Amino acid sequence: MKSTERLSRRKFLALTGTVTAGVLLAACAAPAPAAAPGSGGEAAAVAVPEATTLVAWFTDRRTINVMTEEEAIPDFEASNSGITVDMQFVPESELQQKLLTAKAAGNAPDLSSIDETFLDTLTKQGVLLPIPEEVIDVKAEMGELNAELYKISVNNAPPAYYGLPNGVFSANLFYNATLLDELGYTPDDIPTRWDDFMVWASDVTEWEGDTLKRSGFAIFGNEGSLAPDVRYHMGGPLEGNQFATKDHVRLADDLGVNSWKFAMDVYDVHKTDSKAEGLNSRERFGFGNAVTLYQWTWFNGVMDTTYTDIDWGLKSPPTMDGNPIYGRRGPDVGFTVTSQNTDNLHAAWTFWRYLVSPAYLSKYCKLRGVQPSLKAMWDDPSFSADAGPRWGAIAVNNRPENTVDEGFSPRELGDIVGRSLASIRDEGDDIASVLQANELAANEFLASNPQWSIITAADYEANPQWLTSIG
Amino acid sequence: MDADGRRKTLIDSDRIRKFCHLYSKDFSGFTCVLKYPYISHNTLHEFWLKFMITENWLPKHTTGRVVLFLAFLFMFGMIWFPILEMFYWSFFVKEPGVFEFAGLSNFQKLFTNDPIFWKSLQVTFSFAVMVVPGVVGLGLLLALAVNTIKSTTIRGIFTVSFFTAYVVPLVAIALVWRYIYLPGKQGLLNVIVDWFGVNPIRWLSTSEWALRSLAILRIWKEAGYAMVLFLAGLQAIPKEFYEAAEVDGANGWRRFRHITIPLLTPMIAFVVVITTLGAFLAFTEVYVITTQDSGGGRGGPNFATNLMAFHIFNTAIAYGHEGYGSAMSAVFFVIMVAVGYGQYRFIRASFEY
């Protein structure tokens, strides 16, 4: 009996200790390196298996996903026998983490649509594969600015492209054609200068006591877009750029303070919208209670699919003198290849190229409200200034000479800058003080995290052609 | 005291002596602490030696030992290993493409140069101070009310109704609550306060009300669970106590104070501790209810709803500062353990029978 007890205790402890140590070692072991991405040439040389199934992650943009699933993928599969695409949906807020987790587990999707705010992180984490030169000539197909901006060098590797913009978009003035008609106006009657516009918008606004019945110019929730654009209206393409250099943002200068004051005057002076009610301006417009709305054009797809009762159109936003610069434009990034299966690489790049082609982007860009990045589509009549009331203004706005591309910044910087809104609009804090505090925090961030993806005033000074139609 | 002035503790010294003799052969470097009939008063040594006498706790049957081993493995792998790894990472700069040893610099930054962390801690404590009394008070009130219902069926209907709020996922009802909290006259709550002549409140858009709004939501959600627990506790109290007290002339309040509360104290302690921990770990309310559209932005306005769990998520996951986020988590972990332990000891000391 005693020897049995002795053996059991000893064996038990020895076994526990051994297994625990084994678990520890296994958990601390470095993950297996991801399959090395082949260059375009190598991928082409790899024998394509009989049938390849690609897993493609798309973020939760209902309008685009329905089109992709019902039209685009069947078209692609019909033209590329042997390749099938398994489309899976991932909420955008979870995409970055899911991609990182999937990569660590060795089962990353073959392709994934990402947001531009993820591009830097995912590239550094080795999730995204570099785009082979054989697949796309970025400079020839997307222009010099994109070729310069999206070339990334990670961990001392040669610079390469990991994600590209499908297109660019900007803020436009949405108008409710039915309400305009009822009020006796046409879209052409909408003033193009801010001072005239605010008078007109006040005239068409209707209040019932403290309740806003009809907004003449709805901006609630979009003040953070309006203020930086008004900064351009006031300061021009160089001074208006809030990023002076890649490690310095200017929020609290006179232009910054005045542009925020302009936005707050919409509520406090002109009273064309209400901040007390807290009703989001997009909803107010979608429910038919706003004559005009200041909004980025990704809202086009939502209007077409959700608020189908509204007869709406687009106009370029007012400016101080009625002429461009209309404000900022920003990229819509984009599709990436993330495959860890070398057998799938050829098929993955084939599908990627389809997604970045006129065949797909002609549908995608319409739903997304972006002006295509591919030069081959710039002369497409359906994306021209004559493409009707729901597109013409987009084509005009997104010309290099009419808006300024500031590039994009990571979420953390956006959150720092975005703190201004709640303080100024909801808390009623002093505009200059708020902007100074946030400028300090933003510059602290930039000092330790200079952003390659931001296009600054200094960049435009060095490359003035980027502000012209040639760029 | 022994000859060396150490306090003596007799713990079955014969068996321990045999153990030390046995194990000193098999583990090199293992020092047998038992040189004397009595060992020194050292809690860790006592625990270790008691632990090593495995017949005290090790199941005698092989199946039991295997199950215990698997449970130990699970506990280590799923609970202790992540915690240890969190402490490990807190000494590193761990960001996309960067993983290097940073020593104490994360903690230095945390304690000297991160006002948002301390603001979040203060917000979290404020949130817990609002939620815990609300959940306990409302839960107890509901339990007392439901306990008076004699019909089992009716009591069951009320119990299920109040408990439903707890089981419904917060994400599912978030949209409803965002409309309840609309700042203008459209919001349901503002319609109600308007009946009492109060002006519309901007529930989620002002620092003053944003955290209170989340606290109201949490109390609404958790009170049903507390009610169920208290109801079980109330029904376990023997009716004879109340009858005897009634015979002695005790009124309702005295019966509640001298019978119900003391006998319900263990349950109250449990509810307080789990509600506090839950409040400290609250995340979904901030993530789902507070958005840019609702006025404040996530965690806002001005960090008024920036609860610690959300702040750590933002820092480590959204922004990618995993090392710094781990340092925050480590400090918060220690604080939570201290708070939970303190609560438990304080309430346990108040047991009355």
User: Which residues in chain A are closer than 8 Å to B22, comparing Cβ atoms?
Assistant: 6
User: Which residues in chain A are closer than 8 Å to B314, comparing Cβ atoms?
Assistant: 415
What are the respective helix, strand and coil percentages of chain B, to the nearest 5? 70, 5, 30
Chain A: nearest CA to B250, how far in angstroms?
53
C-alpha closest to that of A399 among A380, A385, A416? A385
Query: What are the tokens at A34?
Result: 């991801």
Structural contact between residues A295 and A171, judged by C-beta atoms closer than 8 angstroms: yes
Q: What is the CATH number of domain B109-348?
A: 1.10.3720.10
Structural contact between residues A413 and A446, judged by C-beta atoms closer than 8 angstroms: yes
What are the respective helix, strand and coil percentages of chain A, to the nearest 5? 50, 15, 35
Residue B30's Cβ-count burial label (10 Å; 0-12, 13-18, 19+) is exposed
Q: Is residue A282 part of a domain?
A: yes
Helix (H) or strand (E) holding A200: helix A194-204
> Which CATH number fits the domain that encloses residue A451?
3.40.190.10
For the stretch A364-423, pLDDT in tens is 999 899 999 999 898 899 999 999 999 999 999 998 899 999 988 888 898 899 889 989
Percent of chain B residues topping a pLDDT of 70: 80
Structural contact between residues A94 and A303, judged by C-beta atoms closer than 8 angstroms: no
Q: Is residue A295 part of a domain?
A: yes
Interface test with A, best of B60, B76, B98 (most A CBs within 10 A): B76
Q: How far apart are CA B210 and CA A278, in angstroms?
A: 14
Mapping DSSP to helix (H, G, I), strand (E, B) and coil, where does residue B118 land? Answer: helix
Chain B: nearest CA to A165, how far in angstroms?
22
Chain A: nearest CA to B227, how far in angstroms?
35
Residues A449 and A341 in one domain: no
Structural contact between residues B171 and B288, judged by C-beta atoms closer than 8 angstroms: yes
Domain holding A68, by residue range, is: 40-164+334-368
- Is the ipTM of this structure higher than 0.85? no
Q: To the nearest whole number, what is the mean pLDDT of chain A? A: 88
Chain A: nearest CA to B77, how far in angstroms?
8
Q: How far apart are CA B321 and CA B316, in angstroms?
A: 5
**Starting from the edge strand earliest in sequence, which strands make up the sheet with A335-337, in order?**
A83-90, A52-59, A111-113, A335-337
**Average pLDDT for residues B188-204, to the nearest whole number?**
88
Residues A78 and A223 in one domain: no
Q: Is residue A23 part of a domain?
A: no
What are the φ and ψ backbone dihedral angles of A417, each rounded to 5 degrees?
-65, -35
Interface test with B, best of A101, A154, A210, A427 (most B CBs within 10 A): A427
**Average pLDDT for residues B48-74, to the nearest whole number?**
79
Chain B: nearest CA to A84, how far in angstroms?
33
C-alpha closest to that of A97 among B4, B319, B137, B84? B319
Q: How far apart are CA A238 and CA A104, in angstroms?
A: 43
Q: How far apart are CA B33 and CA A86, in angstroms?
A: 65
C-alpha closest to that of A274 among A115, A376, A72, A425? A425
Computed over its alpha carbons, how large is the radius of gyration of chain B? 27
Q: Where are the domains of chain B?
A: 8-56, 109-348
Residues A418 and A285 in one domain: yes
Helices (H) and strands (E) in chain A, counts: 20, 16
Residues A321 and A449 in one domain: yes
Q: Per the structure, how many domains does chain A have?
A: 2
Cis link prior to A334 (omega < 30° from 0)? yes
Q: How far apart are CA A332 and CA A365, in angstroms?
A: 10
Spatial neighbors of A438 by CB under 8 A, at least 6 apart, are A251, A252, A416, A417, A419, A420
Q: How far apart are CA A205 and CA A183, in angstroms?
A: 11
Amino acid identity for residue A408 in this structure: F
B293, A211: Cβ pair inside 8 Å?
no
Nearest CA in chain A to B186: A277
* Chains A, B: CB pairs < 8 Å: 101
Q: Is residue A17 part of a domain?
A: no
**Average pLDDT for residues B131-135, to the nearest whole number?**
97
**Virtual torsion, Cα A396, A401, A406, A407, nearest 10 deg:** 70
For the stretch A139-153, pLDDT in tens is 999 988 889 889 988
Residues A295 and A250 in one domain: yes
Q: How confident is the model at residue A254 (pLDDT cuts 50, 70, 90)?
A: very high
User: Which residues in chain A are closer than 8 Å to B300, comparing Cβ atoms?
Assistant: 419, 422
Q: Is residue A7 part of a domain?
A: no
Residues A318 and A459 in one domain: yes
- Above 50 in pLDDT, residue B32? no
Q: How confident is the model at residue A242 (pLDDT cuts 50, 70, 90)?
A: very high
Structural contact between residues B65 and B73, judged by C-beta atoms closer than 8 angstroms: no
A279, B182: Cβ pair inside 8 Å?
yes
Amino acid identity for residue A305 in this structure: T
C-alpha closest to that of A416 among A386, A395, A446, A396? A446
Q: How confident is the model at residue B351 (pLDDT cuts 50, 70, 90)?
A: low
Q: What is the pLDDT of residue B329?
A: 96
> What are the residues facing A333 on neighbouring strands?
A165
Residues A314 and A191 in one domain: yes
Place of tokens 């404020």: B126
User: Which residues in chain B are closer than 8 Å to A277, comparing Cβ atoms?
Assistant: 182-186
A279, B200: Cβ pair inside 8 Å?
no
- Above 50 in pLDDT, residue A35? no
Helix H, strand E, coil C: the string for A318-329 is: CECCCCCCCEEE
Entry pTM: 0.79
Mapping DSSP to helix (H, G, I), strand (E, B) and coil, where does residue B56 land? Answer: helix
Query: What are the tokens at A112?
Result: 């994934």
**Average pLDDT for residues A83-112, to the nearest whole number?**
91
Look at B46 and A225; give whichever has higher pLDDT. Answer: A225
Residues A193 and A125 in one domain: no
For the stretch A142-193, pLDDT in tens is 988 889 889 988 777 789 999 999 999 999 999 999 999 999 999 999 999 9
Residues A188 and A235 in one domain: yes
Residues A138 and A189 in one domain: no
Q: How far apart are CA A122 and CA A109, in angstroms?
A: 14
- Above 50 in pLDDT, residue A72? yes
Place of tokens 């203008």: B184
B205, A278: Cβ pair inside 8 Å?
yes
Q: What is the pLDDT of residue B36?
A: 40
Residues A244 and A207 in one domain: yes
Residues A344 and A324 in one domain: no
Q: What is the pLDDT of residue B116?
A: 93
Q: Is residue A395 part of a domain?
A: no
For the stretch B326-343, pLDDT in tens is 999 999 999 999 998 888
Nearest CA in chain B to A410: B319
State the DSSP string of B67-88. Answer: HHHHHHHHHIIIIIHHHHHHHH
Structural contact between residues A434 and A423, judged by C-beta atoms closer than 8 angstroms: yes
Helix (H) or strand (E) holding A457: helix A457-462
Helix (H) or strand (E) holding A159: none
Computed over its alpha carbons, how large is the radius of gyration of chain A? 26
